[in-house]
Structure 1
Amino acid sequence: MQLDSRSTSFGRHETFPLRYGWLPKGFEAIQHDPHVLQKPEAAMVTLGVGRNMVNAIQYWLQTTGIVESSGEPQATDIGKIMFDSHRGDPYLEDDTTLWVIHWLIASNATQATGFFWFFNRYAAPRFSDKELLEGLTEFVKNTLQQKKRSQNTLKSDISTITRMYAAMPGRTDEHLDSPLADLGLIEADPHSGYRSLRTNRPFLPVTALHFALSQRFAAEPEQPALPVRSLLYGDDGKASPGAIFRLSESGFMEKLEQLMSTSYPGCYELRDTAGVNQLYRGSELPDPQSILEHYYRSS
């Protein structure tokens, strides 16, 4: 949620983008045996994948916050709510689930630093793999002050980001099985490689934005309000819902209006304070887990 140059991670996915069945299968396996992913041979049989994929599944479970990443392995409250077989979305059939998973990855500055950088700090609307690598290398060197980071490791992050989010025409490899490609956040561009544009995104589920905003407020409990600029652009080292969801300014404000007036009244309030547009937490703003629980229960 907050970028810290002392705590970063690149390339731990072993170049495997997240696939459709990995989070539900991994969650179910952890429920039956909390230590299964620490026993490679047993995990390979249980999950039906190779050894490297076991490591990748463990990484994605931890990065999305579905499984606790420190101490005793166990499913988190968010994991239990999201993948509950009766009231959750264990088969990733709900768009809200996919957008929330995307937010959980792209806001994780500690375990998915390359993803955090791309969605929060990289502003170019069109780019090539080479330009992405140059941008990430500069960020690691100048912002993180990490001069010895391997280029191959950074390349693996760039490759995984584009394969995970961009459905390339004519490509038939296994990486098209990533659920996050359906979000349309990165698209193939015949002229420059890729494009990732800020738009109004009318199909962004308002609950996903509500969840993201609630997590931002939960991360700063002493703050009654957050600057709209920070929520839009993330230029202060913190996760930005506007940037992560690739929302234009007008799209972000439209979604906020929908949140405040129709979907979740009483949770937020916009005010201009000393010339700064700020979003205040309302008296009825629930915690992130409660937002998801209520959503799945009422869906």
Structure 2
Amino acid sequence: MKLNRAKATFGRHETFPLRYGWLPKGFEALTDDPEIFARPEDAMIRLGVGRNMVNAIQYWLQVTGLVTFDGGRGKPTRLGTTLLGTRGDPYLEDDATLWILHWLIASNAESATGFFWFFNRFPMPRFRDSDALRAIGEFSEQELKAPRSASTLKSDISTLLRMYAAEAGRTDEHLDSPFAQLGLVESDPDAGFRSLRGARPALPPVALQFALAQRFGAQPQQPALPIRVVLYSDEGWAAPGAAFRLTEDGLMTGLARVIEQDPRSYELRDTAGVHQLYRRGEVIDPIDILSQHYRGRAAA
């Protein structure tokens, strides 16, 4: 999803990071009762959380693209059914699922603009929360041309850091939020936090393949993307290399693993001195990638 300054949103998560069981529980509740979120009191009982957490669960279901809402009625998307259905990964036991959910959040420039900004546009590898707050304020004012309140932006930065950084001495929230496992943001004793690019050998090839399929699908008329564009955010698009915090060598290793697993998907070429990733044939359906992955996992 491309950044659109007219549709940018911040702070809709009620300051609650995405917790471990929320997506499966919310998805199951909505599958059983499509209007459960339109009745907050019933949702509170069904999900065992407070009203603000009900709103947060609904938000995260939407941001990840697992569910759409129309007039209070929720409907699982094809992505949601594939990812969390009985043939997918309903208990989030597969490491690839977590990386894919991260990509879905970090690439959602419209509904999770602060998260998109941090993973695709924030340049500081080591920073304090005050640095991030100042930078996102400048982004909102200068690029979006729509300044947000400091409290709203602070809410996004605080929620993101609590969601991704396992801070020493904090045992409750980072255990509830699985994204700290990815190591994309870490506490830094000198700078406050660090979010460094690396080789990411633990990144499952299917997660990178899914992100690439979505990226190519966003511009189906383009048969190739320069490696620079896959590595860094370009013209408002999310970049897999940035979202997964990959170095160039790490990205190239990841691409080699994707091509090795499916030689028909992509190939690397140098065209007029520009290193590019070409898709072979039609745009790959990201949902088909997930379906094939979970089928293989079930058969293993």
TM-score by length of 1: 0.96
How far apart in 2 are the matches of 1:222 and 1:249?
Answer: 25
How far apart in 1 are the matches of 2:69 and 2:227?
Answer: 31
In structure 1, the residue matched to 2:214 is 215
Is this contact kept in 2: 1:17–1:175, CA < 8 A? no
In structure 2, the residue matched to 1:127 is 127
Q: Aligned-pair distance for 1:259?
A: 1.2
In structure 2, the residue matched to 1:268 is 266
Letter of the 2:144 partner, please give it: L
CA separation of 1:217/1:124 partners in 2, compared to 1, >3 Å: closer, same or farther?
Answer: same
How far apart in 2 are the matches of 1:70 and 1:119?
Answer: 29
Secondary structure of 1:53 counterpart: helix
In structure 2, the residue matched to 1:62 is 62
Q: Aligned-pair distance for 1:91?
A: 1.1
In structure 1, the residue matched to 2:276 is 278
Flag structure 1 segments of 5+ consecutive residues without an equivalent: none
In structure 2, the residue matched to 1:35 is 35
Is this contact kept in 2: 1:228–1:278, CA < 8 A? yes
How far apart in 1 are the matches of 2:124 and 2:88?
Answer: 36
Q: CA offsets, 1:23-71, max 9 Å, x none?
A: 0001101111111111101100111110000000000000000101456
How far apart in 1 are the matches of 2:270 and 2:38?
Answer: 51
How far apart in 2 are the matches of 1:283 and 1:38?
Answer: 43
The alignment of Structure 1 onto Structure 2 pairs a total of residues equal to: 296
CA separation of 1:248/1:178 partners in 2, compared to 1, >3 Å: closer, same or farther?
Answer: same
Letter of the 1:197 partner, please give it: L
How far apart in 2 are the matches of 1:112 and 1:89?
Answer: 23
Secondary structure of 1:28 counterpart: helix
In structure 2, the residue matched to 1:191 is 190
CA-atom RMSD in angstroms: 1.2
In structure 2, the residue matched to 1:254 is 253
1:6-25 maps to which residues of 2 (within 5 A)? 6-25=6-25
Tell me if 1:297 matches 2:295.
yes
Moved more, 231-240 or 10-19: 231-240
How far apart in 2 are the matches of 1:285 and 1:5?
Answer: 27
Q: CA offsets, 1:88-140, max 9 Å, x none?
A: 11111111000000000000000000000000001211000100100100100
Flag structure 2 segments of 5+ consecutive residues without an equivalent: none
How far apart in 2 are the matches of 1:170 and 1:159?
Answer: 17
TM-score by length of 2: 0.96
Is this contact kept in 1: 2:99–2:182, CA < 8 A? yes
Is this contact kept in 1: 2:220–2:283, CA < 8 A? no
In structure 1, the residue matched to 2:110 is 110
CA separation of 1:70/1:209 partners in 2, compared to 1, >3 Å: closer, same or farther?
Answer: farther
Is this contact kept in 2: 1:163–1:176, CA < 8 A? no
In structure 1, the residue matched to 2:235 is 236
Q: Percent identity?
A: 61
Q: Aligned-pair distance for 1:227?
A: 1.7
How far apart in 1 are the matches of 2:231 and 2:284?
Answer: 21
How far apart in 2 are the matches of 1:145 and 1:111?
Answer: 17
